Amino acid sequence: MRGTVRVPGDKSIGHRALILAGLAIGTSRITGLSDGADVAATRRALAAMGVRLARDGASWCVRGVGVGGLLPPAGALDMGNSGTSARLLMGLVASHAITATFVGDASLSARPMARVAEPLRAMGADIVAAPGTHLPLTLRGLAPAIALTYRLPVASAQVKTALLLAALNTPGVTRVVEPVATRDHGERMLAAFGADLAISTDADGARHIALRGGGDLHPCDVAVPGDFSSAAFVIVAALIVPGSEVTVTGVGINPRRTGLLTALAAMGADITLANERGVAGEAVADITARHGPLTGRDLPATLAADMIDEYPALFVAAALAKGRTVARGLDELRHKESDRLAAMAAALAASGAAIAIEGDDMIIDGSGGTPFVGGAKIATHGDHRVAMSMAVAGLASRDGVRIDDLACAATSFPGFADLIERLTTGS
């Protein structure tokens, strides 16, 4: 694989830019927004609640309604496959005096919503959900809502951001405490749009984010960096396909997202960063990955939050490394677009890898570079990251892998298959 490519705009940053632009007074311009289905779900839901959004060439112009200004949507808000859309927008609606129904696909309807519903109820939202607190779910917001202090029981940037969004239209100070730091795109974006927030770290290392609600947001122009989580598939492909050298330009390298680089560096991967710069409050770089030998490593649970979405790709790399990789503390992977522990263990085992789940850990005995046998038909369970990881595994296999559904890649990475083909054929 050879060449220089760009990947779609960061999904996490895209959702947050749209939502905050939707609350600002005036027009924001967002460039580099992902065309993926997840970000489109947030965009459509905001439009249904009165935000004006229009594409202008490579940008989106978003005219906000002002904090507290959302209108009741006429129909159900379809979140598709997007957990981030569902949880962030639930937070947004919770402090508006409107009612919204959230629906999603089968995968999203099986994912836990209690983690966000519980604190939003404490802020005054009335939530009626399918048994077990799942979508479909109807939320009646309260304005003014009740400020609270909430310590996150699970490391979740989605829950953190949902509460901070609810706090925007809530009088007084809402405090979110996260014992384990998660991606901070929400905090960075809130500051850029003029929200009144203060961040500190206590003696135990927990982060405290305090947001004083009730103020206005001003519009902001946002350049969304390339999505590191999408670049991860290209990086791992280059590492495992002999003779490869690939550069992905303009990728976000926020340290709360790049645990994969830490893990791969420990495994001996040949990856270099160049042209590091700041774009709209986020660090960005060009990342070059070259094929070479990898060595299995013990990857502690403390890495999990910083590489949560990249484990499927990491498992593929580890399966071709020399020796054993143990990736620890992965319970949250069971609650993603599929049970990614089970889905990846089954897919890689079917392709000839030595892989096993022990408790919340994944144990992989690498082949030392011998390609996967392949030949199996892989069940993705409609999970974009399982599909793309196994497509990458197929590039380093003897017989190839057949994937039941690669179309789901468009959730986060439209054009994935074309981009990989361009890199492999050098066209």
Active site (catalytic) residues: 309
- What is the nearest approach in angstroms of ligand S3P to the Cβ of residue 143? 24
> Within the chain, how many helices (H) and strands (E) appear?
13, 22
- What is the nearest approach in angstroms of ligand S3P to the Cβ of residue 410? 15
- 131's CB contacts (< 8 A; 6+ apart) are none
Whether residue 236 contacts residue 392, with contact meaning beta carbons closer than 8 Å, is answered with yes
Residues that bind ligand S3P (CB under 6 A): 12, 84, 156-158, 161, 183, 308-309, 332
Q: Which is nearer to ligand S3P, 156 or 174 (CB)?
A: 156
| Paired tokens of 174 | 């809402």
- How far apart, in Å, are the Cα atoms of 234 and each of 27, 229, 284, 311? 35, 10, 17, 14
Q: Which is nearer to ligand S3P, 157 or 318 (CB)?
A: 157
Residue 407 DSSP label: G
- What is the nearest approach in angstroms of ligand S3P to the Cβ of residue 208? 18
- Residue 249 CB: number of other CB atoms within 10 A? 17
Q: Which is nearer to ligand S3P, 286 or 383 (CB)?
A: 383
Query: Distance between CA 97 and CA 95 in Å, rounded?
Result: 7
- What is the nearest approach in angstroms of ligand S3P to the Cβ of residue 159? 6
Query: Distance between CA 249 and CA 253 in Å, rounded?
Result: 11
Q: Which is nearer to ligand S3P, 286 or 309 (CB)?
A: 309
- What is the nearest approach in angstroms of ligand S3P to the Cβ of residue 335? 7
Query: Distance between CA 317 and CA 307 in Å, rounded?
Result: 14
Percent of the chain that is helix, strand, coil (3-state, to 5): 35, 25, 35
Going edge to edge, which strands form the sheet with 99-103?
77-78, 99-103, 134-140, 126-130
- The residue number with the shortest CB distance to ligand S3P is 12
- Residue 359 CB: number of other CB atoms within 10 A? 10
- Residue 199 CB: number of other CB atoms within 10 A? 13
Q: Which is nearer to ligand S3P, 34 or 156 (CB)?
A: 156
Q: Which is nearer to ligand S3P, 97 or 191 (CB)?
A: 191
Q: Which is nearer to ligand S3P, 82 or 288 (CB)?
A: 82
Whether residue 308 contacts residue 361, with contact meaning beta carbons closer than 8 Å, is answered with no
Q: 146: closest CA among 124, 116, 176, 168?
A: 124
Query: Distance between CA 299 and CA 308 in Å, rounded?
Result: 12
- What is the nearest approach in angstroms of ligand S3P to the Cβ of residue 16? 7
- What is the nearest approach in angstroms of ligand S3P to the Cβ of residue 178? 10
Residue 81 DSSP label: T
